[in-house]
Structure 1
Amino acid sequence: MSSHDHDELDECVRALESVHAFLHNELLEADADMIRHHLHACERCMENFEIESTITEMIQRSQVPAAAPVTLTSRITRLSVRRRA
């Protein structure tokens, strides 16, 4: 294990558990800041993050953007208009 100035085990576990939510911007800003700080301090976690980031990017690029069927879109629009009235 490399030496860190933080509680390596707890912070690394928390960072790695949150990496997917972090990559998808699903964390509160304070939590995202904590992950950023940890990644800058921990080379091993940064390496894992970079791997996960690359995989996520490749998956996103390989997926064809899906649009909702026209019938569903029109049903939702009609429901929205009714609720506002």
Structure 2
Amino acid sequence: LEKAGRVADFIELGELMCRDALERRESCGGHYREEYQEDGEAKRDDENFSHVAAWEWNGTGKVQTRHIEQLKFDNIKLATRSYK
């Protein structure tokens, strides 16, 4: 019974990870969205997605709430890498 509870937790986590991935409108690192590619290169959107996202559980059957905290870079400059 304990294992069944853990399986349910993993299913909920997987669903949340899918929802988070669908909300992102960019490709970055291991997160790949084919529709946001130019010439096969990942295209980050630092203006809209340079943040940490935390999801709030609102109860069974209710939609989770996404909270974001913008990342602030004082010592480095964000730059897009090219692998060509």
TM-score range, shorter-chain basis?
0.3 to 0.5
Q: Greater relative contact order: 1 or 2 (C-alpha under 8 angstroms, separation 6 or more)? A: 1
Normalized per residue, the structure richer in helix is: 1
